[in-house]
A and B are shown apart, each in its own frame.
Chain A
């Protein structure tokens, strides 16, 4: 079947098998491999993309169901600067992307694209969530590395920044520490 979709600002038109999952079409058909796959039961959230602005598990949708859709993946989330697209080295990260780094909300990073896209959608619906609302808001995303605490901090910080209240200070020290004495 013929499927047209816009992905990260680029219009594509392809012939796809009716049974092809959107996530496989994105990854293998269009080469948009930034969005990984973590399960086969739509439980993990690794594969979340925005379809017309709403977060969707791209493994739970057929490519043909996304005909005509405007899709944003993790690779299209940053904003382009002059002379660079959204993926060039000059691109400006979305506040949620920045917050995940600033609060160490990722380790291996496999869950991260899905976490970030789910967060973008969550904060659109609830710009001022409590910690508990954040935890429930990302319930459909599994992370095996972080224990979620720093992800929650990152989401709260991004929320604050997107509301215009500025980010919550991150965990990192910019200043050098006193030189440690190490035993001989």
Chain B
């Protein structure tokens, strides 16, 4: 072995590859607002959306969907479709029964006795929601396929629809799944980690105020601007397949496709090309993915399916849809004693990948940032004849945050307290972290005081409260309302052990690889799958910061199970907190190896070699140094490495987080309500978010903005409405109000920075914060404006009509025909003075329990 630095050899290599020498240390990459690398293709239209993919001989698939919410399939006749020009094949559910798998997967059995109905990609016995697939056509182009759908004859025997969850649970209700014998999917009971709720309240004797509310989380349509689509390229003779899909989860999808269809996992490659937003709606295993795969396998021809927007609204999972009965107990001085939550969660007609898990995730979030002794959560999952629900930005946490932040305002009103003061009295003080919550989580860090102080300053709380008083006094037709949301969330999904304890079907780790190329450039391979988040940019920053290579020299490889073979994909604000940390740790392994090689080449003891700014230097002799690029080149050449050393700097890391992360923040909203028209205008929106350390402030700000838009949309604009027959009456963008630019205000955003202590980057995640926080801030503001008029709740979305009716005490049911009342009671001294929707409700709700 030669201990000598072969200076001549390295010099020669470097002379031949000057690039490897000349790269300066870029430095200080974390926290820097780098321009996004992904933008070039996106602003020039050089994008690779799934629907852009074309292959020789590509055939188009179209799906015939049920026009009925509930019916028995008597017969499906595709013969006329087969006679149509350009049609290659047409199949009913029965035709594909033996190849399409027994059932699509639900990965989250939240209770051991959960009812998990068979869910085939095409219905075979009965249809259970409008949009349920009944047959497919394969044709030469999409027009021919669409034409042929009309030639398929289906005979249905109509069954009654079940649209409302409470109706579905009532005795004698029509059953969505006859064989299950019930519409109850599961009951998840969680008594928290604290004291018993009922005992705590009764032990308080006379010193207790109990406020109850029923909140409705309306159903939402996630609406990523890119509808779903899939392309399958088969090598039929080898029984091998490549699937391109508009998915957030190529890695999970691959496993699930293998398990469902029986095609061996190693014969499947799944690629998520450029994906135009997901928001949870592409976190799934969809019928069309399986259908395109099994049809491509049958025909040996490449197949494409692209969803129309109207189809998207029927066939892509919906979000939210819960009825929340929540009860908070406090002593008369305002100290919270406990919280009781009873949820009804609408599953829709079937369980998709994590349908039942979504409301269960919320179980841990209801106590939010508040200290309390007791907490009890129960959730009943209910089947209805509607499109299945599943994750939608925030998934369970926005619902929980809405309920607690709304009821904090109601408790404050009941006690005659300022809503912020009441929050301050009850929240965890910054010096009390880490804090064991009543819901069993340990919050590692936070500083609610700092975020609130900053937000109040930016908002001018004092000035706005004064203006509100003036307007109230002068009976101004335009009233001002101020809403608060001091939220937290759990993200960075998730510690695998915790997921296991919740019976989720997989782990929560993320994988990363760093490949040092001979010229000193770096490839970073991540198992997180981007669809708009800016991973390419942010991961480049993490790698550049750690290895001291230029930002420009890093390239991301992701979203393809062949080139980024291991991953848990992107959802739950996990990319940075889990995937980013994995990358950081993998760079650490690269440096460890590189240091040994550098020490060898510099003829120094490893302990004497220091690394900074991309350069290894021997302590005390600064002229003896090698850049990381030089070490990469020397490792590639492998002419002179320490004995027995593997000639590679490439490193892998799979990171399993030890805890969730807990971003938090204070959101303040001022609305102007025109009491004559009921129109709500957001006058000012201030948010200060504490998401820990940040990588790219510009990307962070963008995530916050987009999140706010979706949360505000739930508060004011969006609702998926079904009629009594189970028809989605908001079935296109004409009827479903996705906000456009004039519907949204300018957001004033700020940050405080309390690093997470549970991961080495100190990061917490930002993807969902804006959505989780903003909905209650806006609704609290609307209710605050209306409170002097005797209104203490309003249903979402708070449309002008609903506001107007609330103001004018119109007791008739609202135009959507719903009879769900926003009901509540107040009880003193531990004894309730009325049933939830009974007499006490009318004392506090001017509209006498009418639907608002």
Residues of A near any B CB (own CB < 8 A)? 17, 19-20, 24, 27-28, 31, 33-41, 43-44, 46, 73-75, 77-78, 87, 91, 93, 97-98, 100-102, 104, 106-113, 116, 131-132, 134-136, 138-152, 171-173, 176-180, 182-184
Contacts and interface: CB of A to CB of B under 8 A. Distances in A.
A111 B49 CA distance: 12
Among B34, B44, B710, B770, residue most surrounded by chain A Cβ atoms (within 10 Å): B44
A171 B757 contact: no
B418 to A, nearest CB: 29
Majority SS of interface residues in chain B?
A: loop
3 nearest CB pairs, A to B: A34-B45, A108-B532, A109-B42
Contacts of B340: none
B733 A43 contact: yes
Among B224, B226, B741, the most chain A Cβ lie within 10 Å of the Cβ of B741
B380 to A, nearest CB: 31
Contact of B44 (A74, A134, A145): A74
A107 B710 CA distance: 14
B224 A138 contact: no
Nearest to A34: B45
B643 to A, nearest CB: 33
Given A40-B309, A101-B40, 16 more contacts: A33-B51, A34-B45, A41-B309, A104-B36, A104-B699, A106-B42, A110-B276, A134-B741, A143-B225, A145-B532, A147-B747, A150-B701, A171-B33, A176-B32, A179-B28, A183-B760
Given A38-B225, A44-B733, A180-B31, A141 B740 contact: yes
A74 B699 contact: no
B281 to A, nearest CB: 10
A175 B41 CA distance: 25
Interface of B: 26-36, 38-47, 49, 51-52, 54, 141-143, 223-227, 274-277, 279, 308-310, 531-534, 693, 697-699, 701-703, 705-710, 732-734, 738, 740-742, 744, 746-747, 755, 757, 760-762, 770
Contacts of B227: 37-38
6 contacts: A28-B142, A36-B226, A43-B734, A104-B36, A106-B39, A149-B747
Contacts of B29: 176
Contacts of A177: 28, 30-32
A102 B44 contact: no
Contacts of B30: 177, 179-180, 182
Nearest to B753: A180
A35 B111 CA distance: 46
A73 B45 contact: yes
A172 B35 contact: yes
Given A41-B732, A171-B701, A108 B276 contact: yes
A150 B532 contact: no
Given A93-B44, A97-B43, A177-B28, A108 B741 contact: no
B45 A75 contact: yes
A104 B143 contact: no
Nearest to B695: A180
Nearest to B48: A33
Given A107-B533, A144-B706, A182 B760 contact: yes
A34 B46 contact: yes
Contact of A40 (B52, B732, B770): B732
Contacts of B31: 177, 180
Contacts of A91: 44
A148 B706 CA distance: 8
B703 to A, nearest CB: 8
Contacts of A38: 225-227, 309
Given A40-B309, A108-B275, A179-B28, A93 B702 contact: no
A136 B833 CA distance: 51
Contacts of A20: 143
Contacts of A74: 43-45
B705 A144 contact: no
A107 B532 contact: yes
Contacts of B310: 40-41
B601 to A, nearest CB: 26
B24 to A, nearest CB: 11
A107 B534 contact: yes
Contacts of A172: 33-35, 698
B39 A139 contact: no
A75 B702 contact: no
Nearest to A151: B741
Contact of A34 (B44, B224, B308, B702): B44
A3 to B, nearest CB: 16
Contacts of A93: 43-44
